[in-house]
Every structure is written in C-alpha cells, then in structure tokens.
Structure 1
Amino acid sequence: MSSSKSSNGVPKWERWARVLLCALGLILSVYALHVELSKENDPNYRAMCDLAESVSCSKVFTSRWGRGFGLVQLFAGKDSLLNQPNSILGILFYTLQLGLGQMVSVTAAHFLVMASWLSVAGSLYLAAILVLVLGDFCMVCVSTYIINFALLYINLKRRTGLNGKQKKKTR
C-alpha cells in the first residue's frame, strides 16, 4: 500500500478534499437555513452576507426560489411539507456525499456521481435565477455552486479509478 492511499484504498487527497468540501457545504447550508429562518421571524434581521441591495443572501433565501427550487410550490403548494428550504436539501446532499464517500464500491461511486450531476444541474438552474430573475449576487450561493462542481470532479475521479480497477480484475 502506498503512502498516498488511506487504509480503505481511497487516495488521501480525495478523502481530505471530500471532508473539507462537505464540511464547508454543511456550514454554508446551516448558515443559509439560519438566515432564512431569522429573516422570516424578524423582517429587520440583517445577515452578515447582506452587503448591499444587489448583494444579499437573505433576499435570495427568502425568495420563491429559496424553497423547493421555486418548483415544488407549483405542484404541491407554497405551504406544503414538501416545499422545504433549499438549504435543507443542501444539508442532506453534503451529509450523503460525506457518508457515501467513505464507501469504496462501484455502486456508491455511481450514486455519488449521479447525485453530483443533480447538484450541478440545480446549481446552474439557481445561478441562472440569481442572475436573470433576481439580479442579485449571493456569496453563500455561489460558494455552494463551486463546492458542488468540485465534488462532481472528485466523484468522477473516484468512479473512473474504481472502474479501472474493476476492469483489471476481470482480465
């Protein structure tokens, strides 16, 4: 076993990158949830990420698109239990990425990649809403988009590596 691999065969850089990215994603998602709930309870609440009229995370988090990607309310209703804050989805996503990232299997790797592609698609959709509809810049949002792209890269590397090992075993 080479020193660049951890005990489970996953490269150390990947393990540490995943832990760092998921921890940052979790922190940002919990912060986003805190801002949204604080703003809903106190309209005068001012978040640290609210720097100007057009640089406001609370404006984004409390918008229609801050819950269920702005789509769930179209079929389930605004007050539906299904219409959860996007930050809750982020918390679930980063927890799943962290947990499944500890498993070394082709199935887990494929699931990680699929979940990452969904998060990147959601990031692109929300980025378009941010720019084209809300005309806002949300540092927290953009940071999570970057994390999602980085996780996709890591997950693609993992899947490629595991697929390569699997092919070598069958030869």
Structure 2
Amino acid sequence: MAARAALCAAGLALSLYALHVERAHARDPRYRAACDLAPAVSCSRVFASRWGRGFGLLEGLVGRDSVLNQPNSVYGAAFYLLQGLLGPVRGRAAAAALALSSALAAAASLYLAAVLLFGLGDFCLVCAATYGLNGLLLRLNLRRWRRLRAPP
C-alpha cells in the first residue's frame, strides 16, 4: 500500500510539473524548464509537440479545440489519482480496474516512447520517469490481480 501511494504521489507530481512546463512554454516559447538539458534532451519541446496533447491522436478524431484533446499530463494526473484512490479498495472489481488502467497506461507509455525515439528524436526525462512509474504500477497491479484470482 505504501509503495502504491509513493508511486502515485511521484506520478501526480511529475504530471503536474509537465502541465506547468507546457503552460509556461505556451506563454513564453523561450521558457527553459529544468528538464531541458540539451537540444535533444528537452521535455518542453516534447510537451509542445503534437504528441503532447491527446497522445497525438485525439486532435484528428475530435478536433483541436475539443475538451477531450487535453495535454497528456492531464490524463496522467487522472490516472495517478485513480490508482491512488482505488488502491485501498478491496475486491476483484477494484483490482480489475487497477490492472486494466495500468495496462492501458503501459501501452500508452510504449507508444509515446516510440514516438520520442523514432518520431521526435528527443529524450524527455519527465516522460521516461512516468513510463517507469507506469511499469511499476502495472507490476504491482498484476500481482494483486493474480493473488485475488488464485484459489485459496
């Protein structure tokens, strides 16, 4: 339980920092975030890219100005809040929701990592940290799900 709380707190903090960086960069394109270490290691460049909102997919489906086309960090914050709130809840339904949402987050992480590597040619420290957190939460949630499914 403490591990989940720590992972969710770290993920929420990173998501809120990413949202701050994106908004500061939108106000001032010369803004330099702490995670902007070099031309090819720049989180603000990644967050400002088309893949920084709606995973680069929603704009084409729902439009640029749709309420659904939010920064990825907003989806991340919602995910970490969900994980944190459902974590203490007992039962199979909560375990299934945790495992399913973690699997989706891990899939999104793999997709966005591929975009970073092959599309943008950039490295984002904040992104990489959240991908790691998502992997750890997936592991934690799958272990919980397996324990609930195991015969007594």
Q: Same fold (TM over 0.5)?
A: yes
SS in 2 for 1:103: coil
Matches within 5 A, 1:14-163: 15-163=1-149
C-alpha deviation, 1:43, in angstroms: 1.1
Q: Which runs of 4+ in 1 moved over 3 A?
A: none
| Deviations 1:11-56 (CA, angstroms, capped at 9, x unpaired) | xxxx111011000000000000000000001111110000000000
Code of the aligned partner of 2:127: C
C-alpha deviation, 1:93, in angstroms: 0.1
SS in 1 for 2:65: coil
Q: Output the CA distance in 2 between the equivalents of 1:114 and 1:162.
A: 15
C-alpha deviation, 1:157, in angstroms: 0.9
C-alpha deviation, 1:76, in angstroms: 1.3
Rg larger in 1 or in 2?
Answer: 1
Code of the aligned partner of 1:59: R
Which runs of 5 or more residues in structure 2 are unaligned?
none
Which runs of 5 or more residues in structure 1 are unaligned?
1-14
Code of the aligned partner of 1:108: A
CA RMSD of aligned residues (A): 0.7
Give the aligned length. Answer: 152
SS in 2 for 1:149: helix
Bigger Cα displacement from structure 2, 72-81 vs 91-100: 72-81
Q: Output the CA distance in 1 between the equivalents of 2:31 and 2:20.
A: 11
Give me the identity figure in percent. Answer: 55
Code of the aligned partner of 1:154: L
Higher relative contact order at CA 8 Å, sep ≥6: structure 1 or structure 2? 2
Code of the aligned partner of 1:69: F
Code of the aligned partner of 2:72: N
SS in 2 for 1:126: helix
SS in 1 for 2:37: strand
